[in-house]
């Protein structure tokens, strides 16, 4: 037998411990799989089967796709992950670029994010916001606010003495004031005041 699920065995290889099969999936992809995983049924495709089943489950329930379009809450989840992990995303420098991440529970599981969202008051007129601007996207650090509240909070980045010290350290290491201002979402004038120990407020 040279076909296991969607995988057709092309040839076998072996290392010191295990036998492997180079397989072609029905979708056309190639995948190297341990023979024991093929025989046990643990691996049935290159991964496309799980993606299809997951997609159908979300689509059937109307959670990720509705009327042929991505739902708003699934779009929020997708964009949240992208700006924290995709280097080419236009907002990466303000999120992933300064260490903001999405917790493993949400990053790998849309349903976990969806469940938290519904239990914590999600509605179509609200947007997600982190309580601690330097913290991750996670259940304990996120809440739902109106777009107006979110915009006001973005304009009033909270600064503390600890963050001010970080700004001075970055400046001393040669990072430009423009880059620092962008990372902390504050004005260049405010950045200069902090660097030169002039009077500044903890909340700009």
Q: What is the pLDDT of residues 11-48, one digit of tens each?
A: 999 888 889 999 999 888 898 998 988 988 878 888 77
Q: Tell which wins on pLDDT, 70 or 158.
A: 70
Residues 75 and 127 in one domain: yes
Report residue 60's pLDDT band, with 50, 70 and 90 as the boundaries.
Answer: very low
CB 152 within 8 A of CB 146: no
Residue 85 included in any domain: yes
Distances (CA, A) of 183 to 82, 98, 103, 170: 17, 7, 21, 11
If asked whether residues 134 and 168 sit together in one domain, one would say: no
The answer to the question of residue 155 being in a domain is no
**Domain assignment of residue 168, given as a range:** 161-195
Q: Which residue has the tokens 């397989």?
A: 23
Q: What is the mean pLDDT of residues 53-81?
A: 73
pLDDT at 86: 92
Same domain, 105 and 139: yes
pTM for this structure? 0.47
- Distances in whole angstroms, Cα of residue 22 to Cα of each of 6, 26, 152, 169: 13, 13, 55, 52
pLDDT of residue 160: 73
Number of domains in the chain: 3
* 26 and 95 co-located in one domain: no
User: What is the residue-averaged pLDDT of the chain?
Assistant: 81
| Domain membership flag for residue 200 | no
80 and 27 in one domain?
no
Query: Per residue in 91-110, pLDDT tens?
Result: 888 889 888 999 988 998 88
The whole-number pLDDT of residue 147 equals 64
pLDDT of residue 79: 93
- Whether residue 75 sits in one domain with residue 26: no
Tens digits of residue pLDDT in 130-152: 888 778 999 988 999 876 655 54
């Amino acid at each position: 037998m040279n076909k296991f699920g969607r995988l057709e065995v092309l040839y076998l290889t072996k290392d010191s411990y295990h036998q492997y099969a180079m397989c072609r999936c029905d979708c056309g992809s190639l995948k190297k799989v341990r023979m024991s995983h093929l025989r046990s049924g643990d691996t049935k495709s290159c991964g496309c089967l799980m993606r299809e089943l997951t997609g159908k489950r979300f689509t059937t329930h109307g959670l990720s796709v509705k009327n042929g379009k991505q739902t708003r809450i699934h779009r929020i989840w997708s964009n949240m992950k992208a700006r924290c992990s995709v280097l080419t995303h236009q907002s990466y420098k303000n999120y992933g670029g300064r260490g903001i991440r999405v917790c493993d529970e949400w990053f790998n599981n849309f349903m976990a994010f969806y469940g938290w969202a519904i239990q914590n008051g999600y509605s179509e007129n609200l947007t997600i916001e982190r309580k601690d601007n330097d913290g991750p996207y996670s259940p304990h650090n996120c809440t739902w606010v109106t777009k107006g509240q979110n915009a006001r909070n973005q304009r009033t980045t909270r600064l503390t003495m600890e963050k001010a010290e970080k700004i001075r350290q970055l400046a001393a290491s040669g990072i430009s004031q423009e880059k620092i201002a962008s990372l902390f979402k504050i004005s260049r004038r405010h950045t200069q005041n902090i660097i030169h120990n002039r009077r500044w407020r903890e909340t700009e």
